[in-house]
Amino acid sequence: MAILADENTRVIVQGITGREAATFTKDMLDYGTNVVAGVTPGKHGQQVHGIPVYDTVRQAVKENPADAAVISVPPALVKGAVLEALNNSIKLLVVVSERVPRKDTIEFLEVAREKNARIIGPNTLGLISPHRLKLGMAGGPVDDVKKAYMPGPVGIASRSGGMTTEIANLLTTSGIGQSTCVGVGGDPVVGSNFLDLIPLYDKDPETKAVVIFCEPGGVIEEKLAESIINENIALPIIAFIAGRFVDTMPGVRFGHAATIVEGDKGTTKGKIAIFKKAGIRVAENFSDIIPLVKEML
């Protein structure tokens, strides 16, 4: 089984008439994702790749019941779109929009917790469960997805959407398939991070190991290590930590908004040390991921 979503998940796309959303909607459809409706205010009655468009989520789900929403709207409109989905009983939301105000993210994540819903992102490319579905832009065009991803026992959780596919491709070319691959999002505040996802992988009988792609900044990796120690999580985890040079340049941000080191907090050196203490195997080089995965499997 997959975590979060599978081939039976019914999906709506909020902002479907936008150029980016229309493109990844076609890719999702081509991959077999069950997209049932789209939402763009003022565009009711239109179709995008054969998918009916509605003015509101309420209209869309009344005629096309759905479990998940992919949200691709301008940053200032994300909060409203998320709350609209949550208020219409959508339980999985993938927010691909970038530059969402942090205050807005904190507010809608609190509502999601109250409604027992799960959010991936903001600033995520989405997720893929090979040969089942893809949500969002993860993996790019469907032909690329089919080359890079194949079903198997290894989960991937990554702070970089692009590196999610790089890791999947590395595994696939070595004959190792994937269960569910999630880009958690590059913002400082996101809905589901490693701390949230690892317990889901641990309960998934299909997932036998997980590869996580980490970056400098934040303390989620440290909290993950502490959680593994305290809760005795036995699922094998292999970590690759990028950007080790950032340790020598405190206070400077590179790449994602969350990639910033402040003093001793969020350093790659600190993450590596606590990972090793928790029994998480750390790949010194990207290519080392494969022998470590094979060893853990």
The phi and psi torsions of 210 (rounded to 5 degrees) equal: -135, 135
**CATH class entry, domain 10-296:** alpha beta
Whole-number pLDDT of residue 254:
56
Residue 131 is among the residues annotated as catalytic for this protein: no
Whole-number pLDDT of residue 33:
98
Whole-number pLDDT of residue 88:
98
Q: Where are the alpha helices (DSSP H) in the chain?
A: 19-31, 57-63, 75-86, 102-114, 142-148, 161-173, 194-203, 220-231, 268-278, 289-296
Closest CA to 9 of 97, 126, 99: 126
Give the pLDDT confidence of 247-258 residue by residue, as tens digits.
Answer: 556 655 555 555
Show Cβ contacts of residue 231 under 8 Å, excluding neighbours closer than 6 positions.
Answer: 199
Under 8 Å between Cβ of 86 and 60 = no
Under 8 Å between Cβ of 202 and 233 = yes
Our separate counts of H helices and E strands in the chain read 10, 14
The phi and psi torsions of 235 (rounded to 5 degrees) equal: -60, 125
- Sign of the four-CA dihedral 222, 219, 121, 165: negative
Give the pLDDT confidence of 181-237 residue by residue, as tens digits.
Answer: 999 998 889 999 999 999 999 999 999 999 999 987 778 888 999 999 898 888 999
Rounded distance, CA 287 to CA 240, Å?
Answer: 10
Strands 51-54, 34-39: pairing kind: parallel
Positions of the chain with pLDDT lower than 50, given as ranges: none
Give the residue extent of every domain in the chain: 10-296
Of the residues 44, 49, 131, 256, only one is catalytic, namely: 256
DSSP 198-211: HHHHHH-TT--EEE
